[in-house]
A and B are shown apart, each in its own frame.
Chain A
Amino acid sequence: MNRIGPMRHRLGIATLAAIPLVVLAVFFVLPVWGMVSRGFTPDGHLDVGGVWDVLARPRTHRVLWFTLWSAGLGTLCAVLLGVPCAYVLHRLDFPGRGLLRALVVVPFVLPTVVVGVAFRQLLADSGPLGGWHLDGTAAAIIAALVFFNISVVIKTVGAFWEGIDPRREQAAAALGASPAQVFRTVTLPALLPGIVSAATVVFLFCSTAFGVVLTMGGLRYANVETEIYLLTTQELDLPAAAALSVLQLLVITALLLVSHLTRRDAAAVDRAASVGRRPRPRDLPLLAWTALVLVFVSAPLLTLVVRSLQVGDAWSLANYRALSGTGERSALLVPALQGLRNSLEIAALATSMALVLGGIVAFLVSRRPRRAALRRAVGVFDGAFMLPLGVSAVTLGFGFLVTLNHPPLDLRSSSVLVPIAQAMVALPLVVRTVAPVLRSIDDRQRQAAASLGAGPFRVLLAVDVPTAWRALLAATGFAFAVSLGEFGATSFLAREDNPTLPVVIYRLISHPGAENFGMAMAASVLLAATTTLVMLLVERLRIGSIGTF
C-alpha cells in the first residue's frame, strides 16, 4: 500500500461524514442554538443568572423527576412487553404473521390528539374501562407511552433477532441447556445490542412525549417537554425554555453515553437468514403474551373504528364520504383526502433522505477503528445523530423560524422543510436499526472478500448489503411510518396548502361540530389503514428478497 492510499482513504471518510454533518448542523444545531442563545441573552447580553434561577426552581426539579421516571417506566414496560412479541412475530412462522407485523406499527403513526381521545373514551369513568379509574392518572400516561412506542421495540429487536443464526442456540440446547439457560447464556447476550438500541430510542420518544402527557394526564402532570411548550408558546419565557432545553440535552447526552458504553463491547454475531419455524406447544406462553399485547394495542384502535362508523346513533359511512370535502363549515383549507396525498409524497421524500443520510451514518459508525481517539470520535458522531430525537420539537420548530430566515437559508416558507424535519426524526431510527446489524458483521468477512480480489464496492454489495438488507427494509418502513405520523415539527412547518394527514386530523378535531369529529375519526382510520398497507408492501419486498442470498 503506498502513502497516497491512506490519505485518500481518510479524505473519503471525511467527505462521507461531512454530508450528514452539514445537514445536522443546518437543520438541527443552528435552529436549537438560535433559540437557546436567545434565552441566554434576553437583553442582548449574556445572563446566566436567569437561567440558573430556572434550574433552581423546585418546579423544575419536580418536572425533571417526572420526565425521568415516566420515560424510564414507559421504556421498561415497552421492552418487557415488546421483546416476546419480537420473538413471536420475527422468529416464528404462522399464517397472518405479516399482517400482524404491519398492524403493530399502526399506533406509532397515529396522532396523539386522536389516540388521546380514543384512550380517554376507554378510560373515562363513563367508558368501558371506567371501573379502573385510570383517567387522568400517571398510569394512563405510561399506558399511552407504551402503546405508542411498543412497535419500536418489536421492529428494532425483531429485525436484529431475525438475523441471529439459530444454530448456536440449537447447539447449546443439544449440549443439554434448558430453554431458559439457552436464552440467558446465548440469545440474550447476542440480542442485547438490539435491545439497548431500541430502549434508547424509546426513552427519547417517551421523554419528549408531549400530547400524551397533557391529554392523558389532564394537565396534572408536566414533563420537560410540556414545560418547554408552555414556556415558549404561551409565556414567551425564553430564558426558562432555554434552561430546560439545555437540561434536556444534558440528560440525553448522559443517556447516550450509557447506551454507548453498554453496546461497545458487543461481539460479532454469526448471522444467517432464518425463515422462522412453526410454533410448538412450548411457545404457548409467548403466543399468549403476544396476543395480550395485541389486544392492548388494538383496543384504542377499535374505539376509533367504531366511532368513525357512527353518525348520531346510527351506523354509516358518511364520515368516510365526507373526507373528499373540507369538513363542516370549512374547517379545512383543502379537502381531507388531499392531506393523504401530501402525506404520502412527503413521506416518500423524507424516507429517501433519511435512508441516504442514515445509511451513511450507520456505515460509518459500524466501523471499529484501531486508534482509541478515532473510536471515540465515531461514538460522538453516532450520538450526535440521536440528539434530534431527544430535543423538544417546539425548540426546533421555533428555532427554524428564527434562524432560517436569511438568504440563502430563508426556508421558512419552503415546502422542503417538512420532509427535512421528518427525515431528521427518522434518521436516528434508521441508524439504530441498521448499525447494530452492520456492527455485528465480523470484519474478517470483508477482509476475506477483499483478499479474494473483490473491489470495495463489491465488498459492500457482497458482505454488508446482504446482511443488512432486512434491517434496511425495516428501516425504510420505519422511516415511512415516522414521516406519516410526525406531528410535532410538521405542525410548525406545514403550510396551509399542503397539510399532512395528521395536521388535517388535528384541525378537524379542534373545530366544533359532530361531523368534523366524525371525519377526524375516519381520517385516523384511513391513516392507520394506509400505514398497514405500506408496512405489508415492505414485508412483501422482504419475503421476495430471501431467495437472493
Chain B
Amino acid sequence: MYRQTFRGAIGAIGAIGALALVATVAGCSSGPSGDDSKTVVVASHDSWAMSKDVIKAFEKKSGYTVKVRPSGDAGELTNRLILTKDSPTADAVFGIDNTFATRAVDEGILADHEPSDLPASAKDFVLPDADAARQLTPVDYGDVCVNIDDTWFAQHRIAPPQTLDDLTKPAYKDLFVTPGATTSSPGLAFLIATIAEKGEAWPDYWRKLLANGAKITAGWSDAYEVDFTAGGGKGDRPIVLSYASSPPFTIPDGADKPTTSALLDTCWRQVEYAGVLKGAKNSKGAEAFVDFMVGKKFQAAIPDNMYMYPVNTAAGLPEIWAKWAKVSPDPAEMSPADIAAHRDEWLREWRDLTSR
C-alpha cells in the first residue's frame, strides 16, 4: 500500500521536472549567441573601461557590433584563452601584458596581425621576439610605482623614502602596504620590479621588507582604500604600491596639487597588448578592432577610462596627467622571455616566503 502512494506523486513531480528541463533547454537555444559575422567579441581583463561614444564611433565606421567580455586579470585572461584555444569564445583579446605575453605566444593562441598604421611612438613597445611582434599589438602602458602620502610625511616631519632599499629601513617600519603578487597584477609587477633590481638576492630583500612590517593585502583596492592614509578608508600606512597615474586622484576639491606622489625610482612598466585570436569566428572584425585600438580616437580616451598611457604620443594626455602623473624616466627592465621562464617559480617562492 505504502508503495502505491508514490505513483501519482511521481507523475506530478516528474511532470514539473520535465517542464523545468524543457524550459532550461529552451532557454539555452534562445540565448543570443553573438556568433554572427557582424559581432566582434573582445576578451579583456577586468580593468576594461571605455566610453560608449568611442565604441559607437567604431561600430558606426566598421558596421560591427562590439561585445566586451571581462575575464579576470591579465594572468587569468591569458590562461582562460589557453584553456579554450580549441574553440575560443572571443575574436580579439585586449589586456595580455608583458608579463604574460610570452606564454600567450608560446601556447599559440594568437593569429598574426600587425596594424598597417601603427604609430611610430608605439614601435618602442613592440615585443622583441619576432613571433610575438607579429601577434601582439601594443595599446597602452603604465608604471606601477610605490606611492607616498606627502601630507603625512610633512606632518610627521619624516623624510619620505625614495628607493626600494629605503622601504627596509627602520624609519619606515610598519608604514608600507602592497597588494600580493599572486592575487593582483600590480602586486606581480612590484615583485618583478624587485627581482629586476635585486637579481638572485630578491628573496632576501623580501624577507627584510616583511621583517620591517610590510603589510600584504589581497587586492589593490584593499591596500589603497583600507590601509593607505590618503585613500578612502583613511588607514594608517602612508606608503602604498599603486600606479604613477594615481596622484592626480588625490587632488583635494578646490586645490590644484595632489597630496600624494609616486616614487619614480621604484617602477615597473606594464605594457598591455591586443591581438586576434586563432580560430576566431570573426577574424576580419577582430583585425578591424585591433587597428581601431591604436588609432587616435581610442588612444586619446585611454587615460581617462583605463588610467593607462596611450602608446600613441600624438593622442596627448589630460592636463593634470601631464603635470602630476609623470612616468618613470628609467623603469626596471626585464625581458618578457625571462619573466615567462621564471614566473611560476618566483611566484611559488614568493608564496612560501609570505604565507605560513
Contact = CB atoms under 8 A, between A and B. Distances in A.
A83 interface: no
Interface string B276-308: 000000000000000000000000000011010
A402 interface: yes
Interface in B1-18: 1-14, 16-18
Contacts of A548: none
Given A19-B17, A456-B4, A220 B355 contact: yes
Q: How large is the interface on B (under 10, 10 to 19, 20 to 34, 35 or more residues)?
A: 35 or more
B3 A509 contact: no
B9 A363 contact: yes
Nearest to B54: A330
A440 to B, nearest CB: 17
A460 B12 contact: yes
A434 to B, nearest CB: 13
B325 to A, nearest CB: 12
A179 interface: no
Given A9-B3, A235-B344, A330-B49, A512 B246 contact: yes
B12 A510 contact: no
Given A13-B6, A124-B226, A333-B68, A218 B218 contact: yes
Nearest to A412: B89
A513 interface: yes
Interface residues of A, number: 92
A273 interface: no
Interface string A439-454: 0000100110111001
Nearest to B34: A413
Contact of B5 (A117, A360, A450, A496): A450
B76 A234 contact: yes
Interface in B52-94: 52, 67-70, 72, 75-76, 79-80, 82-84, 86-87, 89
B29 to A, nearest CB: 8
B151 interface: no
A514 B89 contact: no
B224 interface: yes
Contacts of B310: none
Interface in B177-192: 180, 182-183
A153 B347 CA distance: 38
B193 to A, nearest CB: 18
Contacts of A509: 221, 225
B217 A215 contact: yes
B151 to A, nearest CB: 14
B116 interface: no
B4 A117 contact: no
Interface string B11-38: 1111011101100100110011110000
A1 interface: yes
Interface stretch (B198-206, B231-239, B263-271): B231-239
B249 A352 contact: no
Given A234-B79, A446-B2, A447-B2, A455 B8 contact: yes
Interface in B304-345: 304-305, 307, 343-344
Given A124-B236, A125-B236, A214-B183, A459 B9 contact: yes
B51 interface: yes
B218 A215 contact: yes
A369 B290 CA distance: 63
Nearest to A58: B352
Given A59-B352, A405-B84, A233 B76 contact: yes
Contacts of B11: 12, 457
Contact of A219 (B1, B47, B51, B183): B183
A363 B16 CA distance: 14
Interface string A217-231: 011111000000010
Interface in A178-222: 211, 214-215, 218-222
A215 B7 contact: no
A385 to B, nearest CB: 14
B9 A496 contact: no
A515 to B, nearest CB: 10
A456 B7 contact: yes
A545 interface: no
Contacts of B2: 443, 446-447, 450
Interface stretch (A290-298, A414-422, A469-477, A535-543): A414-422
B232 to A, nearest CB: 5
Contacts of A496: 67-70
Nearest to A410: B87
Contacts of A357: 17, 20
Given A12-B7, A456-B9, A460-B9, A514 B24 contact: no
A104 to B, nearest CB: 26
Interface string A406-436: 1000111111100010000000000000000
B17 A233 contact: no
B354 A13 contact: no
B259 to A, nearest CB: 13
A496 to B, nearest CB: 5
A229 to B, nearest CB: 9
Contact of B4 (A62, A410, A450): A450
Given A9-B7, A312-B253, A413-B89, A215 B69 contact: no
Contacts of B27: 349, 414-416
A221 B355 contact: yes
Interface string A493-510: 001110000000001011
A405 B253 CA distance: 51
A331 B344 CA distance: 31
A45 interface: no
A126 B236 contact: yes
A102 interface: no
A131 interface: no
27 contacts: A1-B1, A9-B3, A12-B7, A117-B225, A120-B226, A126-B234, A126-B236, A211-B218, A214-B183, A215-B218, A218-B216, A235-B348, A236-B83, A333-B70, A359-B13, A398-B83, A401-B83, A401-B84, A401-B89, A406-B87, A411-B28, A416-B28, A454-B5, A457-B8, A496-B68, A512-B220, A512-B224
Closest 7 CB pairs of A and B: A456-B8, A126-B236, A12-B10, A457-B8, A414-B31, A214-B218, A19-B17
Given A406-B87, A443-B2, 12 more contacts: A12-B7, A116-B218, A117-B221, A219-B218, A219-B354, A236-B83, A312-B253, A456-B7, A456-B8, A497-B67, A507-B46, A514-B249
